[in-house]
Amino acid sequence: MEEEKMCSTAGLPEIFGSLVFNDQVMKERLPKEVYQAVHETAKNGTHLKLEVANTVATVMKNWAVEHGATHFTHWFQPMTGLTAEKHDSFITPIGDGKIIMDFSGKELVKGEPDASSFPSGGLRATFEARGYTAWDPSSPAFIKDGTLYIPTAFCSYGGQALDKKTPLLRSMEALNASTINLLHILGNKEVKHIDTTVGAEQEYFLIDKDMYLKRKDLVMTGRTLIGAPAPKGQEMDDHYFGVLKPKVAEYMHDLDMELWKLGVPAKTKHNEVAPSQHELAPVFETANVAVDHNQLVMEIMKKVADRHHLACLIHEKPFEGINGSGKHNNWSLVTDSGENLLDPGSTPAENLQFLVILLGIIKAVDDYQDLMRVSVATAGNDHRLGANEAPPAVVSVFIGDELEGVLKSIEDGSAFKGTGKTQMEIGAHVLPHILRDTTDRNRTSPFAFTGNKFEFRMPGSSLSIADPNIILNTAVAEAFDEISEKLKGVKKEDLASAVHELLKELIASHKRIIFNGNGYTDEWIEEAAKRGLDNLKSLPEAMPRLISEKSIGLFTKHKVFTEEELKSRYEIFLENYSKTIHIEALTMIEMVRKDFTSGFVAYTKELTEEALNKRELLDGKGASYEVTLLKKLDASGTEINKRLSALIRDVAKAESENDALKDAEYYHDAILEDMSKLRAAVDEAEVYIPDEFLPYPTYGEMLFALR
């Protein structure tokens, strides 16, 4: 047994990345100058000469064909939040009915998919419907299902971003420039380049596939729209980190293997808090690779589930009454020499730099808290944020007691006593020596410092993490610029005290965003309001902030979005919200009318017959239990009918709106409200109807069936 296990894992290093055209493959196969040119392009975005591109294309194609590929695709990330691909074969006819496998530099570098059907928020008039895709050499190509996947950015003919990768790369560049500038001012002159690093923990649910297929709500919308709670939920805390059920363990193993082949460094897997909920965490990578990989993770999770006769649910709130799923975005900055800028150092100079970086980030999150909220706003995530599980809709920063103590002592000039682990004195010129503190287990904070990185916990499980990282990178770039501006020109010998003064200022103006307590409580929401923090509860409430003057100023200054790009995104997010709820409403109407009603009618029919039979038998008496039930169900039926009619009526009205924001507000205020009332009525009745009468599985069956 032991031996077998060793054999089966012995090949892992070979399996990992075996389907990826990664750095090692390039080094082995490309001529040295070509390899260097590609590297240069990947790092600095320098233009790649056509001869160079031709060589890379040929080598890439040969490698892909050796690994069984027949096609290639420019893989991109349109504003749907999903990925898109169009496959072309390598086949080129050469006469006589013969073909060769061909792939040119031009085909590698640029593609022109018909873009007219992707959301553009009005950016792309139909007469210039062409969009083009451009190779992103900083994210490696890979083979999946016989096709070579080339990660690309997707732009309109006029160069406007139509995707999530383009602004992400721009934001990484902006943050790189601002950080380098700041580090140089702080005297750290060796650093030439910094990267944003991201590790995205992904939560998901697994349920039986047959059950899934019987639920129109799950199939059409990803979440259950009706369904009474099971007698048991997550209150026993017996699922979190619990033993993996064999079927789940097999699935996870297969999933890891698939991901490893694609070079996705899947690392941790465990059961989550809710029944049937699980998590996968990868090792962190450069932000844009992490974003690409997270898209792959979500796709492969679903694909592998299908093979195991399971359904993988990535929606933020598949089940009411138990925890939803999020995606923790772990984020840090690393220099070209591998120094993590969020690692508290061991010398005063390193700590000085650390504190400036830390406060720069705190400042960014405070100044742009509304945009942080916007970056995670989706119809699905609205069910999570502010409910009693996920972080609230109020953005705050957790830094732990230790660091808070340090900041406090800097602010008031007192000596920091520490909590036993650290001793330091803070005079005007002496900055504290900070030990790395990894004790944070405050899971309620939306944005938590966890020792050597920040963990942004607001993103929903199905979100492309490009969105939060674009905003975070840009906001931090701006904060660093403002800090640099203040320190510019300060003489070397005055730097430490100038920094100290600046830190004091920063702490005083941004400490309102720091909160180490329990973020789920009502007291915090009240306290946050007193501190003047935003509490943007829903997408329609949050979204206008995306096109505020401040936001436009930020993004255009750092060349991450043009004003038009920003406005188009605003339209797309709003439309997406309204469309999502519209589909949910229609699905709910159909499911209640057909599926639920058939069960309801069948059961009440049986009850009625039973009551009549009994009465006949008992000379017109008896059957009081059946009659009571019937009366209850009849009352529910009346209520359901009323609520259903209201929903149908209001959905019909919604279709006549045409302002994107008003539309979204209407869906939020009227339709969601109707749906929730209809649901309450249906769920109340469902409790009385035996499972076998319903043509779909109940919560209890779905959540506890897997073995």
Q: Which residues bind ligand ADP (CB under 6 A)?
A: 197-199, 201, 268, 281-284, 328, 330-332, 340, 452-453, 455
282 binds, among ligand ADP, Mg ion, none (CB under 5 to 8 A by kind): ligand ADP
The answer to whether residues 398 and 445 touch, using CB atoms and an 8 Å cutoff, is yes
Segment interacting with Mg ion, rule: CB under 5 A, options 33-41, 193-201, 220-228, 431-439: 193-201
Q: To the nearest whole angstrom, how small is the minimum distance from the Cβ of residue 423 to ligand ADP?
A: 27
Task: Identify which of residues 469 and 568 has a Cβ nearer to ligand ADP in the complex.
Answer: 469
Widest distance between CA atoms in the chain: 105
Q: To the nearest whole angstrom, how small is the minimum distance from the Cβ of residue 201 to Mg ion?
A: 5
- The set of long-range contacts for 562-568, using a CB threshold of 8 Å and a minimum separation of 24, is 562/160, 564/123, 564/160, 565/123, 565/160, 565/161, 565/167, 567/121, 567/122, 568/120, 568/121, 568/122, 568/123, 568/160
Nearest to 596 by CA among 322, 223, 225, 233: 225
Task: Identify which of residues 168 and 671 has a Cβ nearer to ligand ADP in the complex.
Answer: 168
The answer to whether residues 53 and 34 touch, using CB atoms and an 8 Å cutoff, is no
DSSP helix/strand/coil, 354:
helix
Task: Identify which of residues 201 and 595 has a Cβ nearer to Mg ion in the complex.
Answer: 201
Q: To the nearest whole angstrom, how small is the minimum distance from the Cβ of residue 647 to ligand ADP?
A: 39
Task: Identify which of residues 456 and 600 has a Cβ nearer to ligand ADP in the complex.
Answer: 456
CA distance linking residue 522 with residue 354, whole number of Å: 33
The residues near 109 (Cβ < 8 Å, ≥ 6 apart) are: 48, 53, 134, 135
Query: What tokens does 451 get?
Result: 């020792």
CA distance linking residue 198 with residue 287, whole number of Å: 5
Task: Identify which of residues 147 and 179 has a Cβ nearer to ligand ADP in the complex.
Answer: 179
Q: Which residue is nearest to ligand ADP (CB)?
A: 199
Count CB neighbours of 529 within 10 A. Answer: 12
The answer to whether residues 499 and 518 touch, using CB atoms and an 8 Å cutoff, is no
Q: To the nearest whole angstrom, how small is the minimum distance from the Cβ of residue 26 to ligand ADP?
A: 24
> Does 327 help bind Mg ion (rule: CB under 5 A)?
no
| β-bridge mates for residue 71, sequence order | 89, 147
332 binds, among Mg ion, ligand ADP, none (CB under 5 to 8 A by kind): ligand ADP
197 binds, among Mg ion, ligand ADP, none (CB under 5 to 8 A by kind): ligand ADP
Question: What are φ and ψ of residue 302, in 5° steps?
Answer: -70, -40
Query: What tokens does 504 get?
Result: 């004091």
Task: Identify which of residues 326 and 360 has a Cβ nearer to Mg ion in the complex.
Answer: 326
468 binds, among Mg ion, ligand ADP, none (CB under 5 to 8 A by kind): none
- As a three-state string, the secondary structure of 630-659 is HHHHHHHHHHHHHHHHHHHHHHHHHCCCCC
Task: Identify which of residues 26 and 463 has a Cβ nearer to ligand ADP in the complex.
Answer: 463
569 binds, among ligand ADP, Mg ion, none (CB under 5 to 8 A by kind): none
The residues near 629 (Cβ < 8 Å, ≥ 6 apart) are: 607, 688
Nearest to 196 by CA among 478, 560, 469: 469
58 binds, among ligand ADP, Mg ion, none (CB under 5 to 8 A by kind): none
Q: To the nearest whole angstrom, how small is the minimum distance from the Cβ of residue 646 to ligand ADP?
A: 43
Task: Identify which of residues 179 and 469 has a Cβ nearer to Mg ion in the complex.
Answer: 469
293 binds, among ligand ADP, Mg ion, none (CB under 5 to 8 A by kind): none
Q: To the nearest whole angstrom, how small is the minimum distance from the Cβ of residue 194 to Mg ion?
A: 23
CA distances from 442 to 279, 398, 445, 533 (A): 18, 8, 6, 20
534 binds, among ligand ADP, Mg ion, none (CB under 5 to 8 A by kind): none
Q: To the nearest whole angstrom, how small is the minimum distance from the Cβ of residue 42 to Mg ion?
A: 29
111 binds, among ligand ADP, Mg ion, none (CB under 5 to 8 A by kind): none
Task: Identify which of residues 331 and 561 has a Cβ nearer to Mg ion in the complex.
Answer: 331
Task: Identify which of residues 188 and 535 has a Cβ nearer to ligand ADP in the complex.
Answer: 188
Task: Identify which of residues 170 and 457 has a Cβ nearer to Mg ion in the complex.
Answer: 457
331 binds, among Mg ion, ligand ADP, none (CB under 5 to 8 A by kind): ligand ADP
Task: Identify which of residues 56 and 372 has a Cβ nearer to Mg ion in the complex.
Answer: 372
Q: To the nearest whole angstrom, how small is the minimum distance from the Cβ of residue 163 to ligand ADP?
A: 23
Q: To the nearest whole angstrom, how small is the minimum distance from the Cβ of residue 264 to Mg ion?
A: 18
Q: To the nearest whole angstrom, how small is the minimum distance from the Cβ of residue 418 to Mg ion?
A: 26
Question: What are φ and ψ of residue 28, in 5° steps?
Answer: -70, -40
CA distance linking residue 89 with residue 78, whole number of Å: 22
Query: What tokens does 369 get?
Result: 């808290």
CA distance linking residue 62 with residue 536, whole number of Å: 52
Q: Which residue has the tokens 């005063």?
A: 348
Task: Identify which of residues 201 and 316 has a Cβ nearer to ligand ADP in the complex.
Answer: 201
Task: Identify which of residues 195 and 402 has a Cβ nearer to ligand ADP in the complex.
Answer: 195
635 binds, among ligand ADP, Mg ion, none (CB under 5 to 8 A by kind): none
Q: To the nearest whole angstrom, how small is the minimum distance from the Cβ of residue 515 to Mg ion?
A: 18
Choose which of 315, 328, 383, 453 interacts with Mg ion (CB under 5 A).
328
Contacts with Mg ion by CB under 5 A: the residue count is 2
CA distance linking residue 365 with residue 359, whole number of Å: 10
CA distance linking residue 482 with residue 618, whole number of Å: 87
- As a three-state string, the secondary structure of 486-524 is HHCCCCHHHHHHHHHHHHHHHHHHHHHHECCCCCCCHHH
Count CB neighbours of 521 within 10 A. Answer: 13
Q: Which residue is nearest to Mg ion (CB)?
A: 328
Q: To the nearest whole angstrom, how small is the minimum distance from the Cβ of residue 328 to ligand ADP?
A: 6
Q: To the nearest whole angstrom, how small is the minimum distance from the Cβ of residue 175 to ligand ADP?
A: 14
Task: Identify which of residues 456 and 666 has a Cβ nearer to ligand ADP in the complex.
Answer: 456
User: What one-character DSSP code corresponds to residue 161?
Assistant: B
Binding to Mg ion in span 141-180, by CB under 5 A:
none
DSSP helix/strand/coil, 195:
strand
The answer to whether residues 161 and 155 touch, using CB atoms and an 8 Å cutoff, is yes
340 binds, among ligand ADP, Mg ion, none (CB under 5 to 8 A by kind): ligand ADP
Task: Identify which of residues 163 and 272 has a Cβ nearer to ligand ADP in the complex.
Answer: 272
Q: To the nearest whole angstrom, how small is the minimum distance from the Cβ of residue 495 to Mg ion?
A: 36
Binding mask 196-235 for Mg ion (x = CB under 5 A): -----x----------------------------------
CA distance linking residue 420 with residue 166, whole number of Å: 47
Q: To the nearest whole angstrom, how small is the minimum distance from the Cβ of residue 286 to ligand ADP?
A: 10
Segment interacting with Mg ion, rule: CB under 5 A, options 3-11, 54-62, 228-236, 328-336: 328-336
Q: To the nearest whole angstrom, how small is the minimum distance from the Cβ of residue 25 to ligand ADP?
A: 24
Count CB neighbours of 249 within 10 A. Answer: 12
535 binds, among ligand ADP, Mg ion, none (CB under 5 to 8 A by kind): none
165 binds, among ligand ADP, Mg ion, none (CB under 5 to 8 A by kind): none
199 binds, among Mg ion, ligand ADP, none (CB under 5 to 8 A by kind): ligand ADP
The angle, 0 to 180 degrees and rounded to 10, between the axes of the packed helices 672-686 and 624-654 is 160
Residues of the shown chain interacting with Mg ion in the complex, contacts defined by CB under 5 A: 201, 328
